[in-house]
Homo-oligomer: A and B are copies of this chain.
Amino acid sequence: MTRIIVADALDVVADGLRYRLADRSDLEIVAHAATGTELLDQLMYIEADLILLDVSLPGKDGIDTMRTLHRRFPGIRVLAYSALVAIEYVNSMLIEGADGYLVKGGDKEELIEAIRTTMAGGCHISPAARESVSKGYAYCDKRMDGEYIGLSQREREVIVLIAQERTNEEIGEIMHISPDTVKTHRKRVMTKLNVRTSAGLVKYAHDRRWV
């Protein structure tokens, strides 16, 4: 169960998302914050796995909120959600620690997929926003902060899926790759992290609140 908080000035957007996720028993919108301050307040007592954060928020804007959010709750995943694709917005959000950038206007499928990718440790950037992302900017590694130890995006995705009690076979299906590739990723990660068992990986993922 993924608990989501929607931070958007408009109630109707939150309701729209609720509607879109109505048939997803694994995704639940647990709260709606109309401002950045309200969001930060809610996070003090509401448990959430993912924030859908609009860039345009009254008062303390999305970027500002993102910065505070990332400092105060470094483990929580944030998917920027905005109608704006201007380069300064996209980059700023990613620099401040957003795990992806979803452009408003996409369909339900993109929404679900973006959430899935984000929750799996990946980084979803909508095509429209992707062009704005600075070339060579390692946006997907932002969330690793100072302790970035050289895991690739795919490798992180594999870790998270392993931590979700999945076998190489299942992970292969989810990621649309062969189980052998999953094993390769797994091996590399274990070498990099210097662990000998899956438990070590799971521990790593949990310590970083990836799951």
Q: How many residues on chain A are close to B (CB under 8 Å)?
A: 17
User: Which one of A52-60, A73-81, A148-156, A193-201 contacts B?
Assistant: A193-201
Copies in the complex: 2
Using Cβ atoms and an 8 Å threshold, which residues of chain B touch A197?
165-167, 198
- What distance in Å separates the Cβ of A208 from its nearest Cβ neighbour in chain B? 11
Using Cβ atoms and an 8 Å threshold, which residues of chain B touch A85?
none
Using Cβ atoms and an 8 Å threshold, which residues of chain B touch A163?
199, 202-203
- What distance in Å separates the Cβ of A76 from its nearest Cβ neighbour in chain B? 16
Is A162 an interface residue when CB atoms closer than 8 A count as contact?
Answer: yes
Chain A 186-210 near chain B by CB (<8 Å), digits 1 or 0: 0000000001111111110010000
Is A211 an interface residue when CB atoms closer than 8 A count as contact?
Answer: yes
| Chain A residues within 8 Å of B, Cβ to Cβ | 162-167, 195-203, 206, 211
